[in-house]
Amino acid sequence: MKSFIIATLAASAVALSEIESSFLSFISEYGRNYGSLEEYSHRLAQFVRTHREIEEHNGKQSSFKLGHNKFSDWTIEEYEALLKAKPDDDVTFNASVAQVAVVGDAEPIDWRTKGVVNPIKDQGACGSCWAFSANAAVEGAWAIKTGTLYDLSQQFLMDCNHLSACRGCSGGAPSSSYVFLEKNYHVEQSAYPYTAEDGTCQSDSKPHTDVITTGYKSVTYNKPDLMKDQLAIQPLSVFVDGSSAAFRTYSSGIFNDPDCGVFMNHCTDVVGWGIEGDVEFWIMRNSWGTSWGEKGYMRLEIIKGAGVCGIHKQAQYPIV
């Protein structure tokens, strides 16, 4: 018995040593600089938890893989602080729904290949996903209409849009941005850079573009065929549930995690859809940098109802 215990402890020590070696590589890759041994130990503990989640999933048969990314040393509380999206209430959403019938003949499309989608961005440790989602949808719609792809400022929306749903790093809704942009010309990123912090509005001192909206519309709740029809025209802003460990550590493949909920706490964009084998999938653009997912993107299986992670619940698009 004693020799068994010693062997077990030795095996555990070797396993932890291998994980800590991976952690040191992670520190180097992501430029981490912990200020104390206590902080190092704390972050190592988060990394170990993440590593074991990844290993457990990847050891099973699945259509998607998990992997380390910038969140690997974050606590669950730090990660959840990012998930600050504020979906429209039912009355507001229903009033914005476009009353159209399903056409049903949409072909797969990827707007990334058509010059209307900017490179992936990173919101940092700020709950500003709503501003990134709104901008990507506006940038795409404007580029499709005019041929000009702007790189628009998230900070402008965060600092200057004070409509009820928008609270900077504390969350917001793309729809409020579309309403705000009906009366306010947008500003480019180069003129109003992103800081990942709340700030005061500096709109008056910045040069504005000609980008403006005339409102927005929503796709009928839980109607993936209608989403496909609208995607033939322009990208969509969407809400998803980003709470699950699998969502946080998604690396590649077609995501269909049954444990992903449908609580709308994160805003992203759908920039296309495709088919692999006999499986249809959405092409979802995130705002967590290129270390997350497939260089910043996720493919989610298209299913009936609310969709994987609730992606069918509130799909919206600006009118430009």
pLDDT, residue 6, reads 32
Q: What is the amino acid identity at position 67?
A: G
pLDDT > 90 fraction of the chain, expressed in percent and rounded = 88
Catalytic residues: 129, 266, 286
Half-sphere exposure of 151 (CA within 13 A, CB side): 10
pTM: 0.92
Average pLDDT over residues 215-228: 96
Q: Is 78 left (phi over 0), alpha (psi -120 to 50) or beta?
A: alpha
Separation of alpha carbons 52 and 37, rounded Å: 22
Backbone angles phi, psi at 35, to 5 degrees: -85, -10
Average pLDDT over residues 203-229: 95
Separation of alpha carbons 5 and 37, rounded Å: 29
pLDDT, residue 229, reads 95
> Residue 210's pLDDT band (boundaries 50, 70, 90)?
very high
Find out whether 83 and 265 touch, Cβ atoms under 8 Å: yes
91-100, 250-259, 300-309: which has the minimum mean pLDDT?
91-100
CA distance readout (Å), 253 to 36, 67, 77, 293, 295: 38, 11, 27, 9, 12
At 29-84, the pLDDT tens digits run: 999 999 999 999 999 999 999 999 999 999 999 999 999 999 999 999 999 999 99
Separation of alpha carbons 71 and 26, rounded Å: 11
pLDDT, residue 3, reads 42
Nearest to 314 by CA among 182, 215, 175: 175
pLDDT, residue 164, reads 65
At 129-144, the pLDDT tens digits run: 999 999 999 999 999 9
114-123, 158-167, 238-247: which has the minimum mean pLDDT?
158-167
Nearest to 149 by CA among 186, 204, 202, 194: 186
Residue 2 has pLDDT above 90, yes or no: no
In this structure, what token pair is assigned to residue 71? 């969140």
Query: For the chain, how many residues are written?
Result: 320
Query: Which residues pair with residue 275 across a beta bridge?
Result: 280
Separation of alpha carbons 249 and 120, rounded Å: 17
For the chain, the average pLDDT equals 93
pLDDT, residue 15, reads 52
Separation of alpha carbons 178 and 66, rounded Å: 34
Average pLDDT over residues 280-295: 98
